[in-house]
Structure 1
């Protein structure tokens, strides 16, 4: 029993040492624009630059790599292998450098080139991500690790995703589907209307969602809005609109997704609470 107690004390001692060690967070790294969008033509080549700043007092090492990107209304985000998704433009992209060390209080640039293929079947929106990830000094990936020095610690990785979006001219049909509507109880009282939207078309949409409320006799009661969310083809989002200011009763809700152009989508629901 004595040996077991000593062993447990030793384990607790190691745990306490790890918890006391500084958590390494690459908080000094910041990226400029997180979305680069371009209307391009088939067989066109264009270029861009991503600026990465180091706001820390020490040099910061970062790596840059590609992923695909999908997201869904249930909160799922998928950062898949680049070039595998049907609408990925990852294979069109070259960039440099793939890794760099940014001096303190300085900014470095990553240049990219996108070559749109000479393929007449391309329509609508294509996209992928460039990920910028800080590398801590305790990481085995670092190029600045001191030889023969073993580092222990808890490492938190912070990464930025820059969306590189290519629209083929003005092509691609715009279609939006209302896939769900639910009334949810709000913590502390009140209620939230949850609306799920799916882009079933070929081009991205960035609609503003508004809900117009009418009573049972058709009298206008009020209007509620949610923020804009981009929806790529094949992805979906969840909007939540606070209706806590409405008293209990039965209402008709006209839900409108306005893309800011000629494309406006709507659905009607009956609400009772």
Structure 2
């Protein structure tokens, strides 16, 4: 693996492998009448000991009141598709306990917006470095739920309910601190019929959140450049991992050399040389 483009790269030889891709981060949205304004990420660069404030706005576009509850969880995910919404504040890099907010339950009148106001107080701890994060869930409370204050007695009961929620990510970066590094967990070629993909499992092995853009530059046995092939970018928190899929379906069968690059912005560029056998 390299850190900058002018460094030597290791060579890895791989062939086809059958693998099932599972994508991470799947949260159900609220019903169509309920919206979170301003996006699903609240991100701030702050100093140790600093306090900052903000608001999360929940908009009800419907024609009747809607009840919601707001609560926190931790958030962690793996390249194999596992997503963990654990107890708030348990992860080593959780900032959940830094955050206070109000209200935690509310009824949003039709055609109106509720502001959930929050305060983030970064601890006075000189060992803090990099990125700390957690999730704030905004969940609809159905009228048939025992939790509902809008429920009519004859509509509350036992049964299976579909719960809709938004997950809003809250991240705090401690200044510009925190090591930035990645680790290639696995590289595999997957073929299914005429479709073929290069799958790369990448872990953020550093201390700071990275926005990773991954691509591969392919060269045939004569050294002819075959093109640049890109995967969908992903956000990787420290310790988490993601699966990047690069579509190579239009590449003829042959042996290729590939320069795989994980570009995290600025000078944070990582990569490896691969030998690919497409057949």
- Which bin holds the TM-score, normalised by the shorter protein? 0.7 to 0.9
Q: 1:149 deviation in Å? A: 4.7
> Unpaired segments of 5 or more residues in structure 1?
1-24
Q: 1:217 deviation in Å? A: 2.7
In structure 2, the residue matched to 1:36 is 42
Counterpart CA distance in 2 for 1:85 and 1:158 is 25
Counterpart CA distance in 2 for 1:149 and 1:225 is 51
SS in 2 for 1:91: helix
Q: Decide which moves more: 62-71 or 263-272.
A: 263-272
Q: Decide which moves more: 248-257 or 142-151.
A: 142-151
In structure 2, the residue matched to 1:79 is 85
| Superimposed CA distance per residue, residues 211-243 of structure 1 (whole angstroms, 9 cap, x where no aligned partner) | 100112322111011122110000000011111
- Contact 2:146–2:156 at 8 Å: present in 1 too? no
Question: Within the alignment, does 1:218 sit opposite 2:223 as a pair?
Answer: yes
Counterpart CA distance in 1 for 2:191 and 2:97 is 45
CA RMSD of aligned residues (A): 1.4
Q: What TM-score, normalized by structure 2, do the two folds share?
A: 0.86
Higher helix share: 1
- Counterpart among 184, 191, 198 of residue 185 in structure 1: 191
- Counterpart among 193, 197, 202 of residue 207 in structure 2: 202
Counterpart CA distance in 1 for 2:252 and 2:222 is 16
- Counterpart among 89, 92, 95 of residue 98 in structure 2: 92
SS in 1 for 2:235: coil
Counterpart CA distance in 1 for 2:155 and 2:75 is 37
- Counterpart among 247, 256, 259 of residue 251 in structure 1: 256
Decide which structure has the larger Cα Rg and report it: 1
Counterpart CA distance in 2 for 1:102 and 1:220 is 57
Q: What TM-score, normalized by structure 1, do the two folds share?
A: 0.88
- Contact 2:135–2:169 at 8 Å: present in 1 too? yes
> Unpaired segments of 5 or more residues in structure 2?
1-29
- Counterpart among 261, 264, 269 of residue 269 in structure 2: 264
Alignment size in residue pairs: 248
Counterpart CA distance in 2 for 1:189 and 1:178 is 26
Q: 1:253 deviation in Å? A: 1.1
Runs of 4+ residues deviating >4 angstroms:
148-154
Counterpart CA distance in 2 for 1:34 and 1:244 is 33
| Superimposed CA distance per residue, residues 121-154 of structure 1 (whole angstroms, 9 cap, x where no aligned partner) | 0000000011000011111110111235545765
